[in-house]
Structure 1
């Protein structure tokens, strides 16, 4: 639809009408447009200029359709339109000015927008960098901490939180001294603060403590932040946890140190067989290089199942002498020996210990203990005790911390123990060889010296001389067995019992053990022994007893003593047994020689006495023959001469023959009595019992003694040698009673008991000292003993002054094998 230019102008002017007219106009037009769907679409444009155009088109149409309306509306408005034209011109001018100004402002705004976009782009880049840096800081593996100039934490990253064990919230506002470990002194921290307060960067390594109390090492760089005024506003610390690196470095150093230690010990082992030197080297390395505060090296004696202290360190000096030896059962880690493996005890204070145990005497600050067996060829040579201040402090990084005794440490000490075990084994082999040579030389010399003499005291002194070359004893003595119940000291050195003193084995348990078992006994420490008697005095700390056995029989005892514990040991016992065995043979030979000499002297004495007896018997026979038989025969001769002279007188002859017959009878009776005294015929014809009874009856009648004679079990004849010996013993015993006893009663008993013959002659006389009489060489007593010993028996005499004497003869007799002559 076309719209005339004038109409368009009028309608255009209508838009500038006052408000009431404009409202009416728009209301009318709106109603018309609503009726037309086409006009409705034009109303939906929503802009003022477009609406005016629509109004003009509609108004033009309406003026055609409704002229009345056009006239009513337009005419009144014409004047107003003209007025508005003037205003429109002014408005256009103002609009043009405004457009120019808007254009100018638009240009300025475009420039501002361009600058703003550029700034926005720059800020985006900056924010991206900040985000990237923040992400980097948050994700950094190193701990980062920012503090104020007062030292309080204002920011930290998660790595620092993870490093310390504290949460970020817990760390915020805290001072880093929260992590202080007390591993650094004041001088260290003063140097650090002096550096950063001067505005310089500080770099170093700190040992700090986590929230859980464990230690960690950090490599730290602290940078001070300077503001525009030149003052320090903040501190930035970058921290790297180097605990693992430090542990690895420390582990490497430890392993290198262990290799050096093994090399030192191996060199000492291969270079020297001097065990004290090797052990001194080991002790120095363990103490100075490995920092082990205390330890003990024990020797192991498998034969006695005991441990002996070889060396120790770290213990108080006044307590060192209190433990020398211990049995494996009383040792605090017997499994180390029994199972041949290292044993770790985190707190040995919890273990039971016997009085004098090293655990009881250890310093109070010691806690952990590692027991390492010293092995060689699969056998335990000893054990190494290592002590530490704590059981296992895995968080402790300072170099002064005690050893941890972890798995690697135990493997190292096990290898070290094998080295030391080999050293002990080699040293023992060398020492054994040297000692064996020395012992062999001394034994050869001792054997030669002991065999060169048969003098008992010389043999015993020689024994002690050679024992002194082998064994470092302080006191010694040799006791010889006098009878079954008594030992007598023959030689002695040092303190203690002197020669001549008597010992009773039953009164001393220790000696009784040696006597009973016939085995040597050594007690390295008498204070540690439950059965050792204090035999002499309290200062005896080690004791050894060696039985002297010859031919399977005990003949004496050699006792060695020491003032120090451990002075005598099992090796000394073996050497002593070897030398004492040689001496025992010499002592037995000396005793046999003494007995042979005594027997020879007795034989010589008997020979002299026999000659004396023979001469005495001859004198007796000569006296008897001269005094009685000779006188009788002389009287007989005189009587015969008288008969010859009086032959012519029958009565005188008869009387003389009667006298001569009496003289002849007396001579015959005297000769018979003499024959009976020399050897009774009844002994040969009737036997011992009848001969003794006849002799006792005649003896009692002659000397007016009451003699009781009894026999028990003797029903047959005995061998001639036994009968003769018993008869002569009874004859001599009765003669001694008459000469010396002044007794009023005599009892004689002859008894056959099992395979023995027993003869007892007992009186109630004055008694006497048997040993004194025997040593004086009384022929009667010596002869009686000789007769008993010739039969393989014995003769004992018991006599007490004022209580009589008993003679006991006992000889073996087997009825089935006996031959009667």
Structure 2
């Protein structure tokens, strides 16, 4: 009976995976179609806005022209004996033509404003659809990853399924959210910058033969945009895997993270190295770095601190690190069993390193995280 139950469960899970995979494909198709339509509507909005600005300028000019023609007509009408019949007729015709042209321009302005408002409402609706579809794709991907990765656990350890679900789902969800974050940073940062660079390059191509001075200015702006795109790309790469960690080691990388923290949040950092600084095994350096990085992320997001201290102590058989802040803190006793995924991830990393992690915090008295990792002799 037990074998039968496992086979039935296996069949159910596989069927669920197939159904969810199909749904993910359909949602992604909706997302792609909505995104393409959104980009098209965005271009239409930009075009209509420019046309609206042009017609508004034209209406303003025609209104000035119409006022001048009416003044001319009034002058001719009051002093008709001083003007020929041809002058009077010309004044009436000019005024009539200008008024007709002004009426048509105003009608065109109304139509363009209405089109612009309709397109902006449609663009907002499409943005909402794209965001919802993107969120659904991320959630469905998390479910698929969880079901696929946990299949062996489902078959062989049914009794531990609930615990595996809770933590496994959080891991996959965090991975999907991280991928989504990186994709969004690339899309909103370097990708947008590159698209703008291509556009500015096309402008330079058109200007190079007609306006050298303006072309040079455009090239200067283009060079600055390339620098910005390069800087943003390097930041994304650093967040994923700091190059300095492999090249220079743990301490220089932590110093760079602290410098970035100070620039971004205004929190003043202090770092102190004790013992003889040395390179550690790669898995220890990356593990310690991620733990310290997560601790600093928590300080920035939640602590409302003005100061943060990082101390790293190198000893022959052990390396330890302390991250302490002067923020609002929290009640450690009340937080037991209700830790964030960041803290759970820190504990998982320290377990992999066979180390110890202690967190001490009190409301209004800051937080202190102490990490110890043994070194191989």
TM-score, length basis structure 1: 0.26
- RMSD after superposition: 2.4
Deviation at 1:627?
Answer: 1.5
**Residues 626 and 691 of structure 1: CA distance in aligned 2, closer, same or farther (over 3 Å):** same
Structure 2 residue aligned with 1:688: 250
Output the CA distance in 2 between the equivalents of 1:628 and 1:807: 34
Between the aligned partners of 2:233 and 2:356, the Cα distance in structure 1 is 35
Which residue matches 2:197?
636
Change (3 A) 1:598 1:685: farther
What corresponds to 1:11 in structure 2?
Answer: none
Describe the SS at the equivalent of 1:775: coil
Residues 599 and 731 (structure 1), Cα distance of their counterparts in 2 relative to 1, 3 Å cut: farther
Give SS of 1:653's match.
helix
Matched positions, count: 220
The answer to whether residue 184 in structure 2 is matched with residue 627 in structure 1 is: no
Measure the CA separation in 2 of the matches of 1:602 and 1:682: 37
Q: Which residue of 2 aligns with 1:614?
A: 175
1:813 aligns with 2:375: yes
Alignment of 1:456-535 (within 5 A): none
Q: How many Å separate the matches in 2 of 1:794 and 1:597?
A: 30
**CA-CA distance at 1:605 after TM superposition:** 3.8
Instruction: Please give the residue correspondences for 1:548-563 in structure 2 after superposition, counting only pairs within 5 Å.
Output: none
1:804 to 362, 366, 374: 366
SS, match of residue 319 in structure 2: strand
Alpha-carbon separation, structure 2, partners of 1:710 and 1:603: 39
Whether the aligned pair in 2 keeps the contact of 1:793 and 1:812 (CA below 8 Å) is: yes
Partner Cα distance (1:605, 1:737) in 2: 26
Distance of aligned partners of 1:605 and 1:718 in 2 relative to their CA distance in 1, 3 Å threshold: farther
Deviations, residues 720-743 of structure 1 (Å, cap 9, x unaligned): 111111111111111111222112
Query: C-alpha separation between the residues in 1 aligned to 2:346 and 2:338?
Result: 15
Deviations along 1:626-674, one digit per CA (max 9) or x if unpaired, are 2222221221121122223223123332222222111111111100011
Match of 1:742 among 287, 300, 304: 304
- 8 Å CA contact 2:328–2:364 kept in 1: the answer is yes
Matched, 1:707 2:257: no
CA–CA distance in 2 between the matches of 1:768 and 1:748?
Answer: 19
**Whose strand proportion is higher, 1 or 2?**
1
Report the alpha carbon displacement of residue 617 of structure 1 after superposing the two structures with TM.
2.0
- Give the 5 Å matches for 1:21-32: none
Deviation at 1:794, TM superposition (A): 1.4
Q: Distance in 1 between matches of 2:163 and 2:349?
A: 13
**Alpha carbons 1:774, 1:781 under 8 Å: kept:** no
Report if the CA contact (8 A) 2:278-2:314 is conserved.
no
Paired with 1:597 and 1:717, the residues of 2 have a C-alpha distance of 43
Distance, in Å, in 2 between the alignment partners of 1:786 and 1:691 is: 22
1: CA distance between counterparts of 2:199 and 2:324?
49
Residue 731 of structure 1 pairs with residue 262 of structure 2: no
CA distance in 2, matches of 1:738, 1:602: 31
In the alignment, the residues of structure 2 paired with residue 597 and residue 746 of structure 1 have an alpha-carbon distance, to the nearest angstrom, of 45
Query: Is the partner of 2:314 in helix, strand or coil?
Result: strand
Residue 679 of structure 1 corresponds to: 241
| Separation of aligned partners in 2, 1:798 and 1:598 | 34
Looking at structure 2, the residues matched to 705 and 672 of structure 1 have their Cα atoms a distance apart, in angstroms, of 23
Distance 1:714 1:597, change over 3 A: farther
**Cα gap change, 1:765/1:777 in structure 2, threshold over 3 Å: closer, same or farther?**
closer
What's the CA shift string for 1:303-322, capped at 9, x where partnerless?
xxxxxxxxxxxxxxxxxxxx
1:259-292, CA deviations, whole angstroms, 9 ceiling, x for partnerless residues?
xxxxxxxxxxxxxxxxxxxxxxxxxxxxxxxxxx
1:758 maps to 2:304: no
Compute the displacement of 1:697 (Å). 1.8
Q: How does 1:189-588 map to 2 (within 5 A)?
A: none
**Secondary structure at the counterpart of residue 202 of structure 2:** helix
598 and 783 in structure 1: CA distance in 2 versus 1, 3 angstrom threshold: farther
CA distance in 2, matches of 1:609, 1:634: 35
* CA distance in structure 1 between the partners assigned to 2:297 and 2:190 by the alignment: 25
- Alignment of 1:794 with 2:325, yes or no, is no
CA contact under 8 A between 1:746 and 1:762: conserved in structure 2? Answer: yes
Give the superposition deviation at 1:790.
0.7
Q: Deviations over 1:32-74 (max 9, x none)?
A: xxxxxxxxxxxxxxxxxxxxxxxxxxxxxxxxxxxxxxxxxxx
Q: Is the 8 A contact 1:725 1:787 kept in 2?
A: yes
CA distance in 2, matches of 1:799, 1:752: 25
Task: Look up the SS of the partner of 1:809 in the other structure.
Answer: strand
Closer, same or farther: CA 772–669 of 1 in aligned 2, 3 Å: same
For residues 117-154 of structure 1, give each alpha carbon's deviation from its aligned partner in whole angstroms, at most 9, with x where no partner exists.
xxxxxxxxxxxxxxxxxxxxxxxxxxxxxxxxxxxxxx
Q: Which runs of 5+ in 2 are unaligned?
A: 1-156
Look up the SS of the partner of 1:717 in the other structure. Answer: coil
Question: Is this contact kept in 2: 1:646–1:653, CA < 8 A?
Answer: yes
Task: Show CA shifts across 1:377-417 (max 9, x none).
Answer: xxxxxxxxxxxxxxxxxxxxxxxxxxxxxxxxxxxxxxxxx
The secondary structure found in structure 1 opposite 2:344 is helix
* Shift in Å, 1:602: 6.3
User: What is the distance in 1 between the residues matched to 2:159 and 2:272?
Assistant: 36
Quickly say closer, same or farther: Cα 1:712–1:602, change in 2 above 3 A. Answer: farther
User: Per-residue deviation at 1:675?
Assistant: 0.6
Q: In the alignment, is the contact (CA less than 8 A) between 1:774 and 1:782 conserved in 2?
A: no
- The 3 A distance-change label for structure 1 pair 628 and 598 is farther
Cα separation, partners in 2 of 1:668 and 1:599, compared to 1, 3 Å: farther
The residue aligned with 1:521 is none
Determine which structure has greater relative contact order: mean sequence separation of CA pairs < 8 Å that are 6+ residues apart, divided by chain length: 2
Greater helix content = 2
C-alpha distance in 1 between matches for 2:336 and 2:161 = 15
